[in-house]
Amino acid sequence: MEMISRMKEDIETIFEHDPAARSYLEVLLTYSGLHALWAHRISHFFFKVKFYFLARLISQITRFFTGIEIHPGAKIGRKFFIDHGMGVVIGETCEIGNNVTIYQGVTLGGTGKEKGKRHPTIRDNALIAAGAKVLGAIEIGENVKIGSGSVVLKNVPPNSTVVGIPGRIVKVDGVKINKDLNHTGLPDPIEDRLQLLKEEIVQLKAELLELKKEKK
């Protein structure tokens, strides 16, 4: 009964997050993120009982059919949602909390050949947008949003937004970031910096013109 309840919860999570989901049959047959998650639970079971080869075999077969690679050793919480999913990679020592959403092309990976804990920990209610890379044994706090294409190499405190390469943190003090999936309007620190430089150049030009006028 617990297994059936979890499977039903997984399907309901898709309906909560994806407005394109129209029917249970469609979700069951066509959502690769759901297939990858269910297959991971099987491979994770075999990994825990030290049937490592069988666990890896299941994960690699799942990767072939879904385009999503989840190492059997990864620990994943409830209401985990992978949207589209192609190119998603989740490493062996990765830990993912509850109500986490990730998009296509996301990598939760390591940074080298270190032993032990070498992949990120993602806390509850995090959202990681398309193409983002979260690397190393770092911690992503609760309610964090990571923008598309960002590369995160350091810990991120709760209730923060991260954008850019390398990832830069934009804190929201005292305000909880709502998990509204609207990750198209995230701030761009590089663009902000360029705008400041542009304003400084305009100001310098104005001052030079004033000096030229004074000399005449």
**Measured CA angle at 138 (ends 132, 143), to 5 deg:** 65
DSSP 177: P
In tens, the pLDDT along 4-60 reads 888 888 888 998 888 888 888 988 898 899 999 999 999 999 999 999 999 999 999
8 Å CB contact between 122 and 143: no
Distance CA 137, CA 120 (A): 5
pTM: 0.75
Structure tokens at 47: 């990994």
* Burial annotation 143-180 (CB, 10 A radius, 16+ → b, else e): bbbbbbebbbeeebebbbbbbbeebbbeeeeeeebebe
In tens, the pLDDT along 3-13 reads 788 888 888 89
